[in-house]
Amino acid sequence: MSFEVVAQSRIEERRTTPWRRVANAGLEMGCTGIALAMVGILSMFNARPIIVGVLTLGYATLGMLFVVAGLIVGSKRPFETQTQNIAGGAVAGAIAATTVAVLPAVMSVVTLRFIFLALDKDLLDMLTFTVEPVGAGILCLILLGAVLGAIGAIFIALPRHIRRPLSGGVVALGLTGLFQELISPILANSSITKPIHDLIYTYTGQRPRGAIIVFAVTVIAIVIRDRYRQRVELAFDSLAPATRRNVRRGLLALAVIIAMLVPLYAGNFVGQVLLMIGLFILMGMGLNLEVGLAGLLDLGFVAFYAVGAYTTALLTADSPFALAHLSYWEAMPISILASVIVGIIFGIPVLKVRGDYLAVATLGLGEIVRVIVLSDAAAPLLAGAKGILQIPRPAIGNFSFTSPVSLFYLALASAIVAAYFAWRLEESRLGRAWMAIRDDEDVAQALGINLIRVKLLAYGLGAAFAGLAGSIFATMLGTIYPHSFQLIISINILALIIVGGMGSLPGVALGAAVLIGLPEALREFGEFRYLFYGLAIIAVMRLKPEGLWPSAAKRREMRIDAETAAAQAASPAERVQ
């Protein structure tokens, strides 16, 4: 049956004419543009400049759809000659633009705002470039789509050594414009970098000359890197193992120093973003022990985060619900211990459960904690939906951690200490036992590994990291509510581990920076910021399925899988050879 399905799909693929592929690419991108317009994304993005007075994020998004239509045609190469493929890219871009142009054509005749609020006069002006009459604006849109589609097809036909620098320059230009509210304060708050800020940015966005400089510098940097990369790698490989290790440690230390200095110049907004990244790094390292090393999929991990936060609140808050009035430094180890105990208690019922059933079971345990906190029965102790207020900030002598920047340093110090313990655990006998049960529980048990003890240690030690993060989180807000501990937190932690690289501590940090920092840095777009979040996940899973910074074991597994797949795809004669 499967052979028939595959054969039928190949027959259909052969039947598809080149121009049909062109039309499909254009229609797909055009329908995507209509969807973005209807939900209000294009209108919102159009108010955000990428290059002041030249290009907005809305036009950049719309133009990217037309370019992608040409890229699809250029990558599939449906025609025999390159000229025909470029013409096909132009037609695909024109078809995409024509599909989008249906909206302004209808909007100029019929009012559609009673169906979609985003289909207003501002969107009509955007799609027609404020050209009168509307038909002339629609013609401009179609011509623009054809030009950009052709550019996409031409770009994919360029040699790789030319395509890489150009694509890198465009990406860098887009990122400096998109994240200008994050980058601009960092450059403006220092007398050393202030001239760079004035060269690239105004206080309303990126200057045109700044965009040219960013593009040119990025292109030159990539060209130099590609030219000398092989020499540098050979020189690095020729070093002694101890020297290579010291170089890596030096680069890591430099990255830590930069991370420590950036918030001092960036201000409280950047400090708040980095603080959230630090908290998720802590939780990611804890879940990495369970999922990345031990293979225990846990979707109720947020429960340990909540236990740490509530324990700190109950022991330190100036509230009728407080059990004691300890300092933060006295309450923090108790919070960690409470999380460890809850982690072990949660691990006991699911010791014999594996795979997807384990995920569902831990999801249920996590929801139990949330329901208990919200219940009337626990309200006299945990305050229910009212939450616990007036949680004091940590203090050392006369210095109080009142600002997001100072709390970031607390989270950073905690993450460094936690990373050291996680690294030592990974290299220990216990870490090797975790990896053994991840690969095969039955074989691990036959080798003498105590599954009960090893699994409970994974749950307990992983919960300790989450309890520490929850303790810092409680002091950050000063108040905690049950609604702060939703299932989405567990999902985000699992996602950042997968995106960063399963079983890799540097991957956890990189995954948190991408998946947590990105939505936090784009809060100006409201709920639409999760569009970038989703696109980032899709891009990483398509381009780097092993993760952004995978562990050595994961690299080996991916290489073996790729070699096995290639061997299975080879013909019998090739296998014999």
Q: Are residues 219 and 358 in the same domain?
A: no
Q: How many CB atoms are closer than 10 A to CB 161?
A: 11
CA distance 298 to 359: 6
CA distance 434 to 454: 7
Count how many domains the chain has: 2
Q: Are residues 177 and 324 in the same domain?
A: no
Q: Are residues 224 and 279 in the same domain?
A: no
Residue 558 lies in a domain: no
Domain boundary residue among 433, 457, 487?
A: 487
pLDDT of residue 7: 47
Domain boundary residue among 470, 487, 504?
A: 487
pLDDT of residue 258: 80
CA distance 142 to 131: 13
Q: Where are the beta strands (DSSP E) in 305-452?
A: 395-396, 399-400
Q: How far is CA 307 from CA 35, 81, 437, 565, in A?
A: 42, 64, 27, 45
Residue 403 lies in a domain: yes
Q: How far is CA 576 from CA 55, 169, 562, 568, 571, in A?
A: 58, 46, 19, 12, 9
Q: How far is CA 520 from CA 38, 406, 528, 574, in A?
A: 25, 18, 12, 51
Which domain range does residue 363 map to? 263-487
Structure tokens at 262: 């950036």
Residue 255 lies in a domain: no
Best CA proximity match to 326, nearest among 309, 340, 314, 336? 314
Cis peptide before 133 (omega within 30 of 0): yes
pLDDT of residue 484: 87
Structure tokens at 560: 């073996």
pLDDT of residue 560: 61
Concatenating the DSSP letter of every residue in 233-281 gives: HHHHHTS-HHHHHHHHHHHHHHHHHHHHHHHHHH-HHHHHHHHHHHHHH
CA gyration radius for the chain? 27
Residue 568 lies in a domain: no
* Dmax (CA) of the chain: 81
Domain boundary residue among 184, 213, 229?
A: 229
Q: Are residues 296 and 160 in the same domain?
A: no
What does the angle CA 13 – CA 16 – CA 18 come to, to the nearest 5 degrees?
120
Q: Are residues 45 and 150 in the same domain?
A: yes
What does the pLDDT profile of the chain (577 residues) look like in tens digits?
Answer: 444 544 454 545 555 788 999 999 999 999 999 999 998 899 989 988 999 989 999 999 999 999 999 999 999 888 889 999 999 999 999 999 999 999 999 998 888 888 888 888 999 999 999 888 899 999 999 999 999 999 999 999 999 999 999 999 999 999 999 888 888 888 887 788 888 999 999 888 899 999 999 999 999 999 999 999 889 888 888 888 888 888 888 887 888 788 778 788 777 888 888 899 999 999 999 999 999 899 898 899 999 999 999 999 999 998 888 888 899 999 999 999 999 999 999 999 998 888 888 888 898 888 888 888 888 888 888 888 888 989 999 999 888 898 898 999 999 899 989 999 999 998 899 999 999 998 888 899 998 999 999 999 999 999 999 999 999 999 998 999 888 898 889 999 999 998 888 888 888 998 998 888 888 888 778 778 888 888 888 888 888 888 888 877 667 666 666 666 666 666 555 554 5
Residue 12 lies in a domain: yes
Q: Are residues 366 and 480 in the same domain?
A: yes
Q: Are residues 303 and 157 in the same domain?
A: no
Q: Are residues 267 and 209 in the same domain?
A: no
Structure tokens at 47: 């108010």
Residue 242 lies in a domain: no
Q: In this structure, what are the phi and psi dihedrals at residue 48, rounded to the nearest 5 degrees?
A: -115, 115
Residue 451 lies in a domain: yes
Residue 549 lies in a domain: no
CA distance 310 to 475: 11
Q: Are residues 214 and 267 in the same domain?
A: no
CA distance 294 to 138: 58
Q: Are residues 303 and 425 in the same domain?
A: yes
CB 15 within 8 A of CB 84: no
Q: Are residues 42 and 134 in the same domain?
A: yes
Q: Are residues 217 and 267 in the same domain?
A: no
Best CA proximity match to 456, nearest among 347, 353, 336? 347
